[in-house]
Amino acid sequence: MREFLDSWSPRILSVLRIVTGFLMLWHGMQKLFGFPPSQGGGGSLSALMLVGGILEFAGGILFMIGLFTRSTAFVLSGLMAVAYFGWHAPGGFLPIVNRGELAVLYCFVFFYFIFSGGGAWSVDNLLKKNE
């Protein structure tokens, strides 16, 4: 059983990357295009929120397809750290209290991918095979 699980580990890593990137790009879509509509409503974006939206959208796409995975993960991990400490942490110490658990989770998932790479089903892996 362990051999089977070990053999599928790089593929499941890719599934985690694809799902995480897909979810991240929708955060950017909400900020940049107002779709899907957010509960807080739309409105004009500050420059920092605009940069965050661009990074979430473009980074989500790059991360989802597994292109420049480690670099993208580095940028997105930092973005989520900034989101947590800039917006959530002032609302209280614990993420469950300040509603920042998603930012913390994203931060550490992206941090993990800095070291792991994109997995078996990534453009990075495909390009590496063609070298």
**Over the stretch 82-123, which tens digit does the pLDDT of each residue have?**
999 999 999 998 999 999 999 999 999 999 999 999 999 999
- Expressed as residue numbers, the domain containing 89 is 2-129
pLDDT for position 125: 93
* Confidence at residue 130, expressed as pLDDT on a 0 to 100 scale: 77
- The tally of domains found in the chain comes to 1
Rounded to the nearest 10 degrees, the angle between the axes of helix 2-33 and helix 101-116 is: 130
Question: How far are the Cα atoms of 21, 48, 74, 101 from residue 83, in angstroms, in the given order?
Answer: 17, 10, 14, 11
Question: Over pLDDT 90: what percentage of the chain?
Answer: 86
pTM, two decimal places: 0.91
Look at 26-35, 63-72, 103-112 and tell me which has the smallest mean pLDDT.
Answer: 26-35
End-to-end CA distance of the chain: 33
Q: What separation in angstroms does the CA of 50 have from each of 57, 100, 104, 112? A: 10, 19, 20, 26
